[in-house]
């Protein structure tokens, strides 16, 4: 079947579907589908241009859905044929949801299935796709944002011959740090972001405390029927690592309360906004595999929950200023979120699984010959800068741009400039 072609203002889009093994160690076993969208400048002959594959953040995030030639895609399509990859389990690729997992059988079968959805499998998918689209002997360029950068470093570790050049934004991963070490650093970053938030919006300390106190005294339900507890409310701080994250939380808190028939109560506007921010219905892989991205030969055993005990200031308590948490996944989320509840048993098995294979080859990275340019954001709340700088120093030839001009979402917020800077670094122009 010929690929489906769509044309939107400034861009030509071509849909591709590929069949890949669920388990690359068993190429003749069960097969799944991986979807990718080719993006080129409208009206131009792009057939001669090299490929640039985009690895989205996550884990469990689908690729962007372009609506026009803008942002980083505008800059990229000047020099490349862009391939937006829906990583396995996401978007139009064979999906992972609680409904599709139910078809696998019991919790053990579901957990075994999910073990094949980390960066190593994603990279091997990409290698099969590269051979089909570009040719087995033609390397391509890749751009990895956030978790996509983790995938890029895995790519450099297991299949560097397939790479022409690598660009990474906010996604140089810790190569050897344990999940516990990662979350200790993350909690410290989140504390700093709370301080900055309440300095910008000092009145929100009282507002946040009032919301938490109300939740502690009332059975409050979000529009999907799930409970909103003080701990779940704290998770709104996950937004704090983005350039517009403080504002998204502030504007939500501004409209938190209305006067109901029995006095002050939480508004429908607030509850709907909270549901949109807190539900994992559209990104279950993010929740169920998040801690595993830091695991190599060890179990996570709910590292974020265990390390939280070392930071008692995060516990909601009367008379204590409320702090928001960040990019942490807790076991109780699988009890409260309807999208995660059916996966609770599988999540417990994955948290105890200690057979995760290595994701990075330090010796190979030290001998790297692929050109690499990476943006590291000085105050990144999601990816610890110190770990990123250690990784950059390990990857031979890696050029690094450390900046406090941007937050973690810079590729989305100012993508044309960010990608332009990375390309200039690769070409020796800066």
Alpha carbons within 13 A on the beta-carbon side of 93: 27
Is 146 one of the annotated active-site residues of the chain? Answer: yes
Burial class (CB in 10 A: 0-12, 13-18, 19+), 6: exposed
Is 70 one of the annotated active-site residues of the chain? Answer: no
Residues composing the chain: 430
**Catalytic residue, candidates 46, 121, 146, 388:** 146
Burial class (CB in 10 A: 0-12, 13-18, 19+), 389: middle
Sign of CA dihedral 347, 305, 408, 389: negative
Question: 191, 311 in Cβ contact below 8 A?
Answer: yes
**Catalytic residue, candidates 98, 116, 406, 408:** 408
Is 380 one of the annotated active-site residues of the chain? Answer: yes
Structure tokens at 371: 């050109």
**Catalytic residue, candidates 300, 380, 388, 406:** 380
Question: 132, 339 in Cβ contact below 8 A?
Answer: no
Question: 193, 381 in Cβ contact below 8 A?
Answer: yes
Give the span between the Cα atoms of 319 and 385, in whole angstroms.
33
Report the DSSP pairing between strands 11-21 and 5-8.
Answer: antiparallel
Question: 190, 196 in Cβ contact below 8 A?
Answer: no
Residue 376 is inside which H or E element, if any?
Answer: strand 372-377
Burial 103-142 (b: 16+ CB within 10 A, else e): ebeebeebbbbbbbbbbbbbbbbbbbbbeebbeeeebbbb
Cβ-based neighbour number of residue 342 at 10 Å: 17
Q: At what angle do helices 245-254 and 179-200 cross, to 10 degrees?
A: 60
**Catalytic amino acids?**
146, 380, 408
């Amino acid at each position: 079947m010929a690929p489906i072609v769509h044309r939107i203002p400034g861009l030509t889009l071509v849909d591709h579907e590929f069949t890949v093994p669920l388990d690359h160690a068993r190429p003749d076993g069960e097969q799944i589908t991986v979807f990718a969208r080719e993006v080129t400048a409208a009206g131009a002959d792009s057939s001669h241009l090299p490929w640039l594959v985009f690895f989205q953040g996550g884990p469990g995030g689908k690729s962007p859905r372009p609506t026009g030639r803008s942002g980083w895609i505008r800059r990229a399509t000047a020099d490349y044929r862009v391939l937006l990859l829906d990583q396995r389990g996401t978007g139009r690729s064979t999906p992972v949801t609680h409904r599709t997992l139910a078809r696998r059988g019991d919790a053990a079968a579901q957990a075994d299935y999910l073990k094949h959805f980390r960066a190593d499998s994603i990279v091997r998918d990409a290698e099969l796709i590269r051979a089909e689209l570009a040719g087995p002997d033609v390397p391509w360029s890749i751009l990895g944002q956030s978790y996509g950068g983790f995938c890029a470093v895995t790519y450099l570790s297991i299949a560097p011959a397939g790479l022409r050049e690598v660009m990474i934004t906010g996604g140089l991963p810790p190569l050897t740090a344990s999940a516990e070490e990662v979350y200790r650093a993350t909690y410290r970053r989140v504390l700093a972001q709370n301080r900055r938030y309440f300095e910008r919006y000092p009145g929100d300390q009282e507002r946040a405390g009032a919301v938490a106190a109300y939740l502690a005294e009332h059975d409050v339900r979000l529009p999907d029927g799930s409970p909103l507890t003080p701990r779940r409310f704290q998770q709104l701080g996950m937004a704090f690592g983005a350039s517009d994250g403080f504002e998204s939380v502030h504007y939500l808190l501004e409209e938190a309360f209305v006067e109901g028939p029995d006095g002050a109560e939480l508004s429908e506007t607030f509850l709907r906004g909270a549901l949109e921010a807190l539900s994992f219905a559209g990104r279950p892989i993010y929740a169920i595999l998040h801690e595993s991205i830091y695991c190599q030969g060890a179990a996570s055993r709910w590292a974020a929950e265990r390390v939280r005990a070392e930071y008692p200031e995060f516990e909601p308590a009367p008379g204590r200023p409320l702090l928001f948490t960040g990019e942490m996944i807790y076991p109780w989320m699988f009890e409260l979120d309807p999208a995660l509840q059916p996966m609770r048993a599988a999540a417990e098995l994955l948290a105890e699984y200690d057979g995760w294979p290595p994701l990075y080859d330090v010796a190979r990275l030290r001998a790297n010959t692929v050109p690499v340019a990476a943006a590291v954001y000085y105050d990144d709340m999601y990816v610890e800068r110190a770990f990123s700088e250690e990784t950059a120093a390990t990857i031979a030839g890696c050029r690094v741009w450390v900046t406090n001009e941007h937050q973690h979402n810079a590729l989305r917020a100012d993508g044309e400039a960010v990608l332009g800077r990375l390309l200039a670094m690769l070409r020796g122009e800066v």
